[in-house]
Amino acid sequence: MSHFKRIGLLGSLDVAEVKESLHKLESFLVSQGREVVYEEQAAKLVDWPVDKTLPIEEFAGAIDLGIVVGGDGSMLSACRKMAASGIPLLGINRGRLGFLTDISPDEIEARVMPVLNGEYKQTRRFMLETTVTRNGQEIGTGTALNDIVLHPGMSVRMMTFELYVDGEFVYSQRSDGLIVATPTGSTAYALSAGGPLLFPELDAIVVVPLNPHTLSSRPIALHGNAQIELRVSSRNELHPLVTCDGHNDFTTEPGDVITIRKHANDIQLIHPKDNNFYGVCRSKLGWGSRLGVKR
């Protein structure tokens, strides 16, 4: 039985490897009788005629499955733009690490065919949204699948801020900033900063300090529905930045309030049926892979 008949192709990296995989993927999908629709940005990357192109805003109702060719950054971008569409996404890895893009380029036919026939796993990942307010006025908003980060930008000086969770004061901190990450983002910047790995479908948020000026400050795991509030201290000489998934920088001022909460829309990710979180960690993070070794 064919589960996905109308396939949208997405890609944003203008490199030969992405073009090669887009061409291979299109040829394969057409040979299987699928309708292929290129997202406008992906269509601009290729140097062959494209039959059908749509802006990403018009994908809802026009395709059954989106396939992203690129790295995790390309998948993050597609997730943010398609959050409200309800369209599931599958990734072909043409980046470096590839936690979100499961399928390697040389396995396209072998791994995509079962997905098209309904043999796959599906996970739901929640996103975060942030609002920055100044003197009671909203000055910026953003959405992230991985993380929202308060950081000093190019400065090497520390900042001071207060952390509140669900209206309760947690601490005042002097540090290089703070990472607020989803389980999906726990394998990204938060991991590099010493945060824990969270199972991808946990309903939890992790708060990870960046180089805090105290040895007692540690990552905190919160409920997924927690509302987080960061107040930029009036004592700051800096103008810290708020960054969503490495994009959409907002420059803050002393006294600004940054609110972070779960986004209303989930993302649906499609994975090959044999995909599992621990296997991905072994492969991507270099964990020991010996199985059944007797001591």
In sequence order, the β-bridge partners of residue 229 are 164, 259
Residues 111 and 36 in one domain: yes
- Reply yes or no on whether the pLDDT at 2 is more than 90: no
Task: Please indicate whether residue 274 is annotated as part of the active site.
Answer: no
Q: In this predicted structure, what is the pLDDT of residue 282?
A: 86
Rounded alpha-carbon distances, angstroms, from residue 61 to 2, 42, 57, 112, 234: 17, 19, 10, 22, 48
Q: Which domain holds residue 194?
A: 127-264
What confidence tier does 290 reach under pLDDT thresholds 50, 70, 90?
low
At residue 83, the pLDDT reads 87
Residues 17-37 pLDDT 10s: 999 999 999 999 999 999 999
Is a pLDDT exceeding 80 seen at residue 97? Answer: no
Both 141 and 253 in a single domain? yes
Alpha helices (H) along the chain = 16-31, 40-45, 72-82, 108-116, 189-192, 277-285
Whether residue 199 sits in one domain with residue 98: no
Beta bridge partners of 173: 161
* pLDDT tens figures, 211-253: 898 888 899 999 999 999 999 998 777 789 999 999 878 899 9
Give residue-wise pLDDT tens across range 264-279: 999 999 999 988 888 8
Query: Which tokens go with 57?
Result: 């805003």
d(CA 213, CA 266): 35
Between these two residues, 2 and 89, which has the higher pLDDT value? 89
On whether both 259 and 153 belong to a single domain, the answer is yes
Cβ(187)–Cβ(202) below 8 Å: no
145 and 243, same structural domain? yes
- Residue-level pLDDT at 292: 56
Of 14, 64, 72, 203, which is the active-site residue?
72
Rounded to whole angstroms, the Cα distance separating 39 from 7 reads 10
Among candidate residues 96, 118, 140, the one where a domain is terminated = 118
**Domain with 146 in it: what CATH number?**
2.60.200.30
Residue 58 lies in a domain: yes
The tally of domains found in the chain comes to: 2
Q: Kindly report, residue by residue over 144-183, the tens digit of the pLDDT.
A: 999 999 998 877 788 999 999 999 999 999 999 999 999 9
Q: What one-letter code names the amino acid at 268?
A: Q
If asked whether residues 191 and 216 sit together in one domain, one would say yes
